[in-house]
Amino acid sequence: MTEVWVTLTTAQPRPDEWVVLLSALTALAVVTWSTSWQISRGLVTIAHEGGHALMALLTRRKLQGIRLHSDTSGVTLTRGRPTGPGMILTAAAGYVAPSLLGLGGAWLTSSGYVAVLIAVVIALLICMLLLIRNLFGVVSLLATGGAIAALTWYAPPDVDAIIAHLAVWFLLFGGIRPILELRRKRRYGRVPDSDADQLARLTVLPAGVWVMLFLLVAVASLAGGAYLLVPLPAGLG
């Protein structure tokens, strides 16, 4: 336990600036290229549904379970008052969760606490695994958690830092694309029961405003994460 504690509390040195920038470009390419996005989008869905689930627990709603589907969609089932602050916060948490998780990850990674970030992610995946109610969701979480555990167990610390940067950039960029897709789908009336539409029925704000609020949080998280991860030139810090 002493060795684990030392590993968690020992800050790792920052990787070279070119490594950070290359990680950002790689993550951006994965998010913008349709083929790689369809393969990796499920990771953003895990964060999205995890955001719903966490907020449901924080607002003391009854969490009934989470389902992840092969088309990269998901659903989080809760029980409680159909209106009120708890329901509003739970519905609003999904689309902003990947970006906020990326921002938190950027803070830990930029501070050198890569091991803490990995431990937190694995702990969250284990908690979600207890709430999954379909086979595909179980397989998805086991595959994701197993890959993270294997990489961090066998890879040296400097490789862990590169992987952490890549994952954080992916969440920061990947948190924006689903919101843009939601905005486009709503324009054609293809998602009448989206989170934004549910929030419109729960509040006085129209769905379009909620979409813009989601996007504002995602863009602000990207800006904040970039500020934390990319060192300022000498003389500007």
What is the enclosing helix (H) or strand (E) of 224? helix 207-229
DSSP state of 236: T
* Tokens at 108, concatenated: 């830990």
Give residue 189's pLDDT band: very low, low, confident or very high (50, 70, 90): confident
Q: What percent of the chain has pLDDT over 70?
A: 93
> What distances in angstroms separate CA 1 from CA 6, 68, 116, 202, one per listed residue?
9, 34, 14, 47
pTM for the structure as a whole: 0.92
Mean pLDDT of 159-177: 94
The answer as to whether 221 is a domain residue is yes
Chain-wide mean pLDDT for the chain? 90
Q: Which pLDDT belongs to residue 233?
A: 55
Residue 236 has pLDDT above 80, yes or no: no
Residue 235 has pLDDT above 50, yes or no: no
Give residue 88's pLDDT band: very low, low, confident or very high (50, 70, 90): very high
Residue 105 lies in domain: 16-67+76-229
Distance CA 169, CA 187 (A): 28
The answer as to whether 236 is a domain residue is no
The answer as to whether 133 is a domain residue is yes
Residue 237 has pLDDT above 50, yes or no: no
The answer as to whether 56 is a domain residue is yes
Structurally, the chain folds into a number of domains equal to 1
At 28-43, the pLDDT tens digits run 999 999 999 999 999 9
Contact 88, 202 (CB under 8 A): yes
The answer as to whether 235 is a domain residue is no
Residue 3 has pLDDT above 70, yes or no: no
The answer as to whether 120 is a domain residue is yes
Mean pLDDT of 161-179: 95
The answer as to whether 3 is a domain residue is no
At 120-146, the pLDDT tens digits run 999 999 999 999 999 999 999 999 999
Which of 5 and 102 is assigned the larger pLDDT? 102
Mean pLDDT of 140-153: 89
Task: Produce one character per residue of 69-106: b if its CB has 16 or more CB atoms within 10 Å, e if not.
Answer: eeebebebebeeeeeeebbbebbbbbbbbbbbbbbbbb
> What distances in angstroms separate CA 9 from CA 2, 5, 108, 175, one per listed residue?
11, 6, 11, 29
The answer as to whether 5 is a domain residue is no
Which of 80 and 219 is assigned the larger pLDDT? 219
DSSP state of 193: T
Residue from 87, 76, 79, 105 nearest 175 by CA: 105
Distance CA 217, CA 166 (A): 20
Q: For the chain, how long is the longest CA-to-CA vector?
A: 57
Residue from 180, 162, 184, 191 nearest 222 by CA: 180
Mean pLDDT of 68-87: 92
Q: Which pLDDT belongs to residue 5?
A: 62
